[in-house]
């Protein structure tokens, strides 16, 4: 695979991830919809669970989903940026978080126009934390494995 193909492939996966996030922010994944599946599952696993506990678990899982999906977006974006531009890891991290913030902003703005969803600055903050976790994970793993900057881009 050529360097250009690697770059295009990396950005393809960023686009797929961002698209999946935007699909999941639609009405099909509103709390009422996901609760319909989670409630029976929780009652089957824990027959003594209360309605209050179900609501708390549901809320926590939804916020954990925010953290996870934006951590994945950040990891994919960081990789794509590292393959695309030759700048310091600090700048790459900043640009990665800018991508996360952009997707999160579009996501929450879109939700603010849907009847079953609400846009939230708090969710944008959670998404940024998830993005930060993704960036830190990639940097930590690279440091542990001794992976440095990507090789210079050359066509093969």
Task: List the pLDDT tens digit at each of the 156 positions of the chain.
Answer: 898 999 999 999 999 999 999 988 876 666 666 777 788 888 899 899 998 998 898 889 888 988 999 999 999 999 999 999 999 889 999 999 999 999 999 999 988 888 777 878 999 999 999 999 999 999 999 888 887 755 555 554
pLDDT of 59: 86
Pick from 104, 96, 110, 93: nearest CA to 126: 104
Per the listing, tokens 């935007």 go with 22
> Phi and psi at residue 30, in whole multiples of 5°?
-65, 160
Please state the pTM of the whole predicted model: 0.85
What gap in Å lies between CA 75 and CA 133, rounded to an integer?
A: 9
**Residue 117, by phi and psi: left (phi above 0), alpha (psi -120 to 50) or beta?**
beta
pLDDT of 31: 62
Q: Are 83 and 6 in contact (CB under 8 A)?
A: yes
152 DSSP 8-state letter:
P
pLDDT of 28: 62
What gap in Å lies between CA 9 and CA 80, rounded to an integer?
A: 8
pLDDT of 114: 80
pLDDT of 27: 67
pLDDT of 155: 54
pLDDT of 54: 85
């Amino acid at each position: 695979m050529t360097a250009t193909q690697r770059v295009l492939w990396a950005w393809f996966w960023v686009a797929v991830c961002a698209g999946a996030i935007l699909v999941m922010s639609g009405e099909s994944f509103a709390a009422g919809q996901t609760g319909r599946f989670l409630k029976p599952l929780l009652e089957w696993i824990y027959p003594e669970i209360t309605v209050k506990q179900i609501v708390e678990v549901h809320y926590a899982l939804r916020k954990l989903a925010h953290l996870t999906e934006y951590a994945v977006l950040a990891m994919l974006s960081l990789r794509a940026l590292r393959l695309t531009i030759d700048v310091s890891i600090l700048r790459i991290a900043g640009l990665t978080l800018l991508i996360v913030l952009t997707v999160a902003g579009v996501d929450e703005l879109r939700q603010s126009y849907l009847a079953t969803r609400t846009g939230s600055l708090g969710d944008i903050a959670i998404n940024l934390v998830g993005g930060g976790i993704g960036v830190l994970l990639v940097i930590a793993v690279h440091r542990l494995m001794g992976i440095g900057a990507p090789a210079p881009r050359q066509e093969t």
